[in-house]
Amino acid sequence: MPRTTIRPAWLIAAVAAFAPLSAAALYNDRVEVFAAENVTYDSNVFRLSPDEDPRTTIGEDGRSDWLYSTQLGVSADLPYSLQRFQLNYTWFANRYRRFDELNFNGHTARAAWLWSVTPHLTGDIGYTDSQTLANFANQLFSRQRDILRTKQGFADAVWFPVASWRLHAGAASVDQRHDDPAQQFNDIQTATGVAGVSYVTAADDRLGIEGRFERGHTPHGELRDTPLDPGYDQDSVGVVGHWILTGHSTIDGRIDYVRRDYDQPAARDFTGPTARAAYTWTPTGKLTVLASIYRDIGPIADVQSGALVLIKGVAVKPSWAITDKITLAGDAEYNIWNYRNDVQFGDYTHRVRTFGATLSYRPTRKILLQGGYVHEMRTSTVPLADYKDDVANILARISF
């Protein structure tokens, strides 16, 4: 089966083409052009249940496949006086060996202006745009390719009127669209506003209050005021904090009281507390361990719709710089996804266990070699929504 991927000869040609460029041509390394090739083995591409026969579900005798992803991109980080301008763009071509109906070209992009009026009044303004394959884990019993396009604009500001008080405010808008007609009732647009005030000690401990408002609605007028209408209003108020416990450990936390009211139907409404705490431990300059526990409403980026999903979980993510060139990172998570009055399946619960590790090697600052493995297992109260999946990948990246 043909596939368009970058071959070693192509990469060598790219290196030869860019090698003559001087550091000055790339603004003293503040602008980077890169190319990468990622080879991934996925044991369960469509996240099929062990009780499903793939021959009847997807018409193939098998669940696994190899994915070849070619990436080309550019990034820039340009300071000017007190300002900083950032740009990141990656184009990629994904090609599957067996399930070639999933082939697609996509991108991720981000542009931001990190502005500063004085060191005591700073903020950022930016925009992100991504086009990726929707996660089959979030599409129960759908085996069709669904390209997810997500656009986000954001603006934030932080002001220290005096050394001990920190004021912050921000706004964001998100537009997420599915290209699969069967999934387009999940298209959602949101607008969010946030403001807060915190007291800051000389040791940089912080404790404050934050309020947030969010409005979500469907871009499809024919769905409004119907059971498929994902429109909602959400507001919350809470306490946020940052504490430096010792020279090697910090804790960040927040507790909110949240109310979400749906336009249709009211049975989906939610009122209650959410909380999140993260503990960072750095016993040495080479080892960092991040542990977190949370009870929160699932963000649109993860849920891929405006559905109400209450996520409870714990995660531990260590990172060890074995040498200056070799880093080993791990990830262990347990999450419970509680779906409330979903328009298709009503109330149901997923329990997801994830274990993974990534080994990175940088022989030079411009070359990255990386390998990773992730095991994921889900059990569900929805019949045939459970699955097991193993994903292994190898990445080679070169920049100029």
Question: What Å distances lie between residue 40 and 6, 107, 151, CA to CA?
Answer: 15, 18, 27
At 375 the pLDDT is: 98
Asked whether the CA dihedral 81, 85, 86, 91 is positive or negative, the reply is: negative
Cα separation, 352 vs 51, whole angstroms:
18
Identify the residue whose tokens are 């808008």. Answer: 173
pLDDT at 168: 98
Total-model pTM:
0.87
User: What is the average per-residue pLDDT within 2-24?
Assistant: 43
- Predicted confidence at residue 27, as pLDDT, reads 66
pLDDT at 382 over 80: yes
Domains (range + CATH), the chain: 8-399 (2.40.160)
Can you give the pLDDT at residue 229? 87
Q: Cβ neighbours of residue 59 under 8 Å, at least 6 residues apart?
A: none
Give the pLDDT of residue 13: 42
Residue 195 near residue 210, CB atoms below 8 Å? yes
- Predicted confidence (pLDDT) at residue 17 exceeds the cutoff of 70: no
- Cα angle value 389/393/399 (rounded, 5°): 150
Q: Do strands 31-42 and 121-133 pair parallel, antiparallel, or not at all (unpaired)?
A: unpaired
**pLDDT tens digits for 98-135?**
999 999 999 999 999 999 999 999 999 999 999 999 99
Asked if 36 and 395 count as a contact pair (C-beta separation under 8 A), the reply is yes
What's the pLDDT tens digit per position in 208-267? 999 999 999 999 989 888 888 889 999 999 999 999 998 899 999 999 999 999 988 777
Say how many CA atoms lie within 13 Å of 178 toward its Cβ: 26
Query: pLDDT tens digits, residue range 289-311?
Result: 999 999 999 988 888 888 899 99
